[in-house]
């Protein structure tokens, strides 16, 4: 066996083990979602059988106790609206930054890069107070908050992609009478499609699973996302209905996993397009 083949096998084995370690917690949650809650604490690593197996009881109890269907709806509203707003605003902003290229545009680009550096913990209390003052404590108000936090990465990727688009294509469209919006949506956006899908996946995974930002911003008396609703399964004195929680966690991760599997082929191509050409 040649040295090259031996190294290839070693890397394959290594990454297989790492992949299994990453998948194992998800498998553990799925397995325990079918167990009686008493057996989850007693033997979390065993396969549910006999008295330990409760079927879909945990799922039904979790949905009933957390009103998970309503929370699912609010999570969809927050995620879809936020991702759509991020994609629209940041793609246009990146196009403007690259094509204008003056000092103002370069300074604005640096501000977006700085946005990725600042830790969320530095601004979370101020953000909570400001959101209440401006009436952003609603699912649609949260779109604007997520736009502010998600714009940095999106602009960084999109500017790299726009730099690789020949400006002659846009000039030809304008010579033919196309307006600026028509040039952007008819010429630029189709070329940016892989990176747009890539950014959409990354932002959607972050927003769907986020707990802290909705918890600090939303009015809990009216709106709860799935991540927040699941936390309400904790009772007094530290008691937790582990069975119902496991069932709700499975229901919460299924949609975003399906979304990722459907669109995963665009992630690497989109990110590389922005990173290499940038």
pLDDT tens string, the chain, 278 residues long: the values are: 566 666 678 888 888 888 888 888 888 888 888 888 777 877 777 778 777 787 888 888 888 888 888 999 999 999 999 999 999 999 999 999 999 888 999 999 999 888 888 887 788 888 888 888 888 888 998 999 999 888 988 999 899 889 888 888 888 888 888 888 898 998 898 888 888 988 998 899 899 988 888 988 888 888 889 988 888 877 656 677 788 888 888 999 888 888 888 877 766 665 555 444 44
Tell me, what's the pLDDT at 90?
Answer: 94
Is the distance from CB of 71 to CB of 226 less than 8 angstroms?
Answer: yes
Classify burial at 129, counting beta carbons within 10 Å of its beta carbon; exposed 0-12, middle 13-18, buried 19 or more.
Answer: exposed
Tell me, what's the pLDDT at 16?
Answer: 87
Instruction: Give the closest residue to 87 by CA, choosing from 240, 203, 224.
Output: 203
Is the distance from CB of 63 to CB of 243 less than 8 angstroms?
Answer: no
- Return the DSSP state at 121: G
Q: Do 117 and 76 belong to one domain?
A: yes
Q: Do 131 and 195 belong to one domain?
A: yes
Q: Do 100 and 197 belong to one domain?
A: yes
Q: Do 108 and 40 belong to one domain?
A: no
- Tell which of 36, 56, 76 closes a domain: 56
Q: Do 209 and 223 belong to one domain?
A: yes
| CATH number of the domain enclosing 104 | 1.10.3720.10
Tell me, what's the pLDDT at 272?
Answer: 56
Tell me, what's the pLDDT at 275?
Answer: 47
- Return the DSSP state at 33: T
Distance of alpha carbon 155 from alpha carbon 165, whole angstroms:
15
Is the distance from CB of 157 to CB of 194 less than 8 angstroms?
Answer: no
Q: Do 43 and 144 belong to one domain?
A: no
Q: Give CA separation, 43 vs 52, 54, 138, in Å.
A: 10, 15, 41
* Owning domain of residue 123: 60-277
Distance of alpha carbon 184 from alpha carbon 178, whole angstroms:
10
Q: Do 92 and 211 belong to one domain?
A: yes
Q: Do 51 and 89 belong to one domain?
A: no
Q: What is the pTM of this model?
A: 0.84
- Tell which of 56, 73, 98 closes a domain: 56
Tell me, what's the pLDDT at 204?
Answer: 92
Tell me, what's the pLDDT at 271?
Answer: 55
Q: Do 25 and 48 belong to one domain?
A: yes
Q: Do 245 and 163 belong to one domain?
A: yes
Residue 124 CB contacts under 8 Å (≥ 6 apart), including other chains: 212, 213, 216
Q: Do 140 and 262 belong to one domain?
A: yes
Domains identified in the chain, total number: 2
Q: Do 211 and 246 belong to one domain?
A: yes
Is residue 234 classed as helix, strand or coil in its secondary structure? strand
Residue 266 CB contacts under 8 Å (≥ 6 apart), including other chains: 194, 197, 198, 201
């Amino acid at each position: 066996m040649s040295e090259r083949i031996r190294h290839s096998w070693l890397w394959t084995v290594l990454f297989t083990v790492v992949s299994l370690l990453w998948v194992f917690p998800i498998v553990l949650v799925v397995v325990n979602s079918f167990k009686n809650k008493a057996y989850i604490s007693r033997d979390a690593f065993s396969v549910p059988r006999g008295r330990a197996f409760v079927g879909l009881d945990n799922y039904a109890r979790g949905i009933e106790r957390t009103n998970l269907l309503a929370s699912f709806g609010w999570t969809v509203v927050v995620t879809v609206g936020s991702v759509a707003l991020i994609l629209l605003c940041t793609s246009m902003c990146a196009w403007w930054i690259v094509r204008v290229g003056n000092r103002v545009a370069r300074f604005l680009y640096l501000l977006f890069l700085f946005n990725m550096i600042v830790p969320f913990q530095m601004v979370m209390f101020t953000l909570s107070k400001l959101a209440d003052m401006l009436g952003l404590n609603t699912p649609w108000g949260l779109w604007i908050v997520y736009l502010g936090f998600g714009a940095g990465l999106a602009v960084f990727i999109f500017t790299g992609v726009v730099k690789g688009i020949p400006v002659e294509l846009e000039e030809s469209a304008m010579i033919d009478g196309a307006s600026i919006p028509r040039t952007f949506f008819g010429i630029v956006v189709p070329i940016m499609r892989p990176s747009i899908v890539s950014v959409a996946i990354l932002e959607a995974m972050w927003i769907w699973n986020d707990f802290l930002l909705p918890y600090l911003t939303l009015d809990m008396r009216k709106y709860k996302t799935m991540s927040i609703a699941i936390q309400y399964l904790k009772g007094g004195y530290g008691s937790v209905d582990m069975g119902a929680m496991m069932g709700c966690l499975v229901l919460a991760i299924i949609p975003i996993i399906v979304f990722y599997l459907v669109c995963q082929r665009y992630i690497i191509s989109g990110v590389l397009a922005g990173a290499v050409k940038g």
